[in-house]
């Protein structure tokens, strides 16, 4: 495909994307298909000869898109709802064309330095002090792995068993990191939470003391600001005290809620996070940036490099000691130009625009929660510090198992209907529905339609 053929096809693709963005709200959020639907419709073997891009794009429209769960739909509310904004998509288009790989400075001066600039801008937006530098990884799972690898390296573990602490509500990536790091499944100790799913600092202190007495080295504690199940907020200031006293690495998982630190009225949730050794904030979650873009902030770059820097001869360059070599800060050597989209998103929205959108998402979530709270037979199941609502239908007085089953039925009915797409979790053994607001296109009217649909599904026998 030469440049002119690309031009023709790409203009058509842009029109498809613009039409898609304009009308995505008219589609079913979740395709009502069964596993295997798409695979069974595609050839088992690769084509021997080239196919026209028209044929490929026809199959894209007729086979791939009908099997898509539309994350960019205004009624996508599962997991953490997010947005691929226009500026972010433009950034991805340009990054793909440049195909820059910022493993060392000279391999991509712009890729390296724009990453430093965009990360520093994000640091300022969320109100962290300039002592924090950072890099962009693919996902929070990777960012957390990198942070905890650095924590282990800093801990000078030797032959002792090491342990990482996180609340029972912490993200599964913490436990996965423990497995990858070779700490074993016992390497991550779950700390109980209080009535609002926040880590209990005293329980943390007790576990750490008992572990020290047993010869286990406390390596790190992960405080979560916006947990995945309930968006609860660990008391990071108190946890920071314990981490300092115990010389543990403090990693803050603000992958979801981090961008909300831009709002003065939510600053109370973040008091103390500036004492962390590392913090993860995902622009691909709640900062309108397409997948994938996870920023890992860290206080001491040397400690990250200590865990990851290895420079073989074929990657040594004349710029040693001058330009940053991003490969030294993580697992991946190759690094796509993720900074470009983040830089474009921040510029296109401005700090005021980011504030306005996040504030509106929080307002919409509180509004939805108020509808639920006022409706007979429904309850809000957890506080709403950010823009996610945990709630459930309490049914018609049946037993707990029936109510759980009814909530699953409501969820499945709604999701299969295509009207909206939600997820669920379990709190204290009970099934709870989750509605996360994070898409730029979500309006009050969209939410009202979803709420009506939820009540309709609940009313079915």
Q: What is the DSSP letter of 219?
A: E
Cβ partners under 8 Å of residue 278, min gap 6: 147, 150, 151, 249, 250, 251, 252, 296, 297, 298, 299, 304
**Residue ranges of E strands in 288-422:** 294-298, 378-380, 388-393
What span, in angstroms and rounded, lies between the C-alpha atoms of 65 and 19?
13
Q: Taking the complex as a whole, how short is the minimal distance between the CB of residue 129 and its own copies, in angstroms?
A: 14
Specify whether the CB–CB gap between 146 and 329 falls below 8 A: yes
Tokens of 241: 């005290």
279, containing H or E segment: strand 278-281
Among residues 334, 326, 322, the alpha carbon closest in space to that of 309 is found at 326
**Using CA atoms, how far apart are residues 149 and 153, in angstroms rounded to an integer?**
6
Among residues 275 and 430, whose Cβ is nearest to its own copies? 430
> 279 vs 339, which CB is nearer to its own copies?
339
> In 288-317, which positions are buried (b, 16+ CB within 10 angstroms) versus exposed (e)?
bbbbbbbbbbbbebebbbebbeeeeeeeee
Query: What is the rounded CA–CA span in Å between residue 364 and residue 349?
Result: 20
Closer CB to its own copies, 240 or 391, in the complex: 391
Provide the minimum distance between the beta carbon of 196 and its own copies in the complex, in angstroms, as a whole number.
Answer: 17
Select 171 or 299, whichever has its Cβ closest to its own copies: 171
Nearest in space to 278 (alpha carbons), one of 178, 114, 152: 152
Give the nearest distance from C-beta 374 to its own copies in angstroms. Answer: 26
Task: Provide the token pair at 210.
Answer: 């008992």
* Residue with Cβ nearer its own copies (147 or 240): 147
Shortest distance, CB of residue 406 to its own copies, whole angstroms? Answer: 15
In the complex with its own copies, the residue whose CB is nearer, 337 or 391, is 337
As measured in angstroms, the least distance from the Cβ of 218 to its own copies is: 16
Taking the least distance from each CB to its own copies, the nearer of 90 and 237 is 90
CB of 39 to its own copies, least distance (A): 4
Best CA proximity match to 14, nearest among 100, 93, 95: 93
Cβ within 8 Å of residue 357, ≥6 positions away = 288, 349, 440
DSSP state of 187: G
Please give the structure tokens belonging to residue 135.
């890099």
Of the two residues 36 and 461, which places its CB atom closer to its own copies in the complex?
A: 36
Is the separation of the CB atoms in 175 and 169 below 8 Å? no
Helix, strand, coil percent content, the chain, rounded in steps of 5: 50, 15, 35
- CB closer to its own copies, 258 vs 290: 290
Q: Which C-beta is closer to its own copies: that of 145 or that of 240?
A: 145
- Which segments of 375-432 does DSSP mark as H helices, in order? 400-417
Least separation in angstroms between residue 49's CB and its own copies is 4
Shortest distance, position 457 Cβ to its own copies, whole Å: 15
Encoded tokens for 443: 């309006």
Cβ 403 to its own copies shortest distance, Å: 16
Instruction: Name which of 173 and 278 has its Cβ closer to its own copies.
Output: 173
Least Cβ distance, residue 241 to its own copies (angstroms): 28
Q: What residues pair up with 189 in beta bridges, in sequence order?
A: 165
Q: What is residue 276's DSSP assignment?
A: -
> What's the closest the beta carbon of residue 179 comes to its own copies, in angstroms?
7
């Amino acid at each position: 495909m030469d440049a002119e053929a690309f031009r023709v096809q790409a203009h058509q693709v842009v029109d498809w994307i613009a039409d898609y963005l304009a009308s995505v709200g008219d589609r079913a959020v979740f395709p009502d298909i069964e596993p295997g639907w798409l695979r069974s419709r595609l050839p088992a073997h690769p084509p021997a000869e080239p196919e026209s891009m028209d044929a490929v794009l026809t199959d894209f429209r007729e086979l791939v898109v009908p099997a898509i769960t539309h994350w960019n739909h205004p009624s996508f509310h599962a997991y953490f709802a997010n947005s691929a904004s226009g500026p972010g998509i433009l950034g991805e288009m340009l990054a793909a064309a440049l195909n820059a790989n910022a493993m060392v400075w000279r391999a991509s001066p712009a890729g390296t330095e724009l990453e430093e600039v965009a990360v520093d801008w994000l640091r300022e937006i969320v109100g962290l002090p300039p002592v924090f530098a950072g890099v962009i990884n693919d996902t929070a799972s990777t960012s957390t792995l990198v942070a905890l690898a650095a924590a282990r390296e800093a801990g000078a573990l030797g032959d002792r068993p090491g342990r990482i602490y996180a609340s029972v509500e912490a993200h599964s990536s913490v436990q996965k990191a423990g497995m990858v790091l070779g700490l074993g499944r016992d390497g991550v100790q779950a700390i109980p939470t209080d009535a609002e799913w926040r880590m209990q600092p005293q329980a943390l202190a007790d576990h750490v003391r008992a572990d020290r007495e047993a010869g286990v080295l406390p390596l790190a504690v992960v405080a979560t600001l916006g947990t995945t199940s309930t968006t609860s907020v660990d008391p990071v200031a108190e946890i920071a005290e314990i981490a300092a006293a115990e010389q543990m690495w403090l990693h803050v998982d603000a992958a979801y809620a981090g961008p909300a630190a831009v709002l003065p009225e939510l600053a109370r949730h973040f008091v103390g996070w500036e004492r962390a050794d590392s913090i993860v904030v995902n622009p691909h979650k709640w900062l309108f940036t397409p997948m994938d873009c996870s920023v890992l902030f860290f206080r001491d770059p040397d400690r990250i490099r200590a865990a990851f820097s290895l420079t073989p001869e074929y990657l040594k360059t004349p710029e040693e000691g001058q330009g940053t070599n991003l490969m030294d800060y993580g697992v991946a050597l190759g690094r796509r130009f993720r900074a470009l989209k983040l830089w474009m998103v921040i510029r296109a929205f401005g700090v005021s625009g980011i504030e306005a959108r996040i504030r509106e998402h929080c307002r919409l979530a509180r509004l939805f929660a108020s509808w639920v709270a006022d409706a007979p037979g429904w309850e809000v199941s957890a506080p709403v510090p950010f823009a996610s609502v945990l709630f459930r239908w309490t049914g018609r007085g049946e037993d707990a198992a029936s109510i759980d089953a009814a909530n699953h039925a409501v969820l499945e009915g709604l999701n299969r209907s295509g009207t909206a797409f939600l997820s669920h979790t379990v709190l204290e053994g009970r099934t709870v529905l989750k509605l996360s607001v994070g898409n730029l296109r979500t309006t009050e009217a969209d939410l009202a339609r979803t709420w009506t649909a939820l009540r309709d599904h609940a009313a079915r026998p």
